[in-house]
Amino acid sequence: GAVVSQHPSWVICKSGTSVKIECRSLDFQATTMFWYRQFPKQSLMLMATSNEGSKATYEQGVEKDKFLINHASLTLSTLTVTSAHPEDSSFYICSASRVTSSYNSPLHFGNGTRLTVT
């Protein structure tokens, strides 16, 4: 089955530093990847849509200069949390869709990254 790999699974960083999270599709090509964020006991909130070879599309209220997204290839998207602050501490999850799937194919999710900013 399709596998989406996300790395790292957890990271602790100091306030003011930047953290990069990688999302890879391991056995399929993904023109589109999605980045979600989940706070405790809350739903997954879509942050942005990452499109291979073009700029990401951010959801309302998400700072694009703070959450930098790069989708340089069909198998890799990265999310960089710049100048992280404690309120950025959260669970970040990426998902990917196959190139040839219809829009109704289910997304495949990575295992998420737990970010803690101290």
Partner 1 sequence: DQQVKQNSPSLSVQEGRISILNCDYTNSMFDYFLWYKKYPAEGPTFLISISSIKDKNEDGRFTVFLNKSAKHLSLHIVPSQPGDSAVYFCAANSGGSNYKLTFGKGTLLTVNP
Is 40 buried (19+), middle (13-18) or exposed (0-12) by CB count in 10 A?
exposed
Q: Cα(19)–Cα(14) distance, rounded to whole angstroms?
A: 10
* Contact positions with partner 1 (CB under 8 A) in 84-103: 91, 93, 95, 97, 103
Could you say whether residue 9 binds partner 1 (CB under 8 A)?
yes
With CB under 8 A as the contact rule, which of the stretches 13-21, 68-76, 77-85, 110-118 interacts with partner 1? 110-118
Q: Which residues pair with 86 in a beta bridge?
A: none
Q: How many residues bind partner 1 (CB under 8 A)?
A: 28
d(CA 88, CA 79): 13
Q: Rounded distance, CA 18 to CA 14, Å?
A: 9
By the rule CB under 8 A, 28 interacts with partner 1: no
Q: Decide: is 35 part of the binding site for partner 1 (CB under 8 A).
A: no
Q: Which residues bind partner 1 (CB under 8 A)?
A: 4, 6, 9, 32, 34, 36, 41-46, 49, 91, 93, 95, 97, 103-112, 114
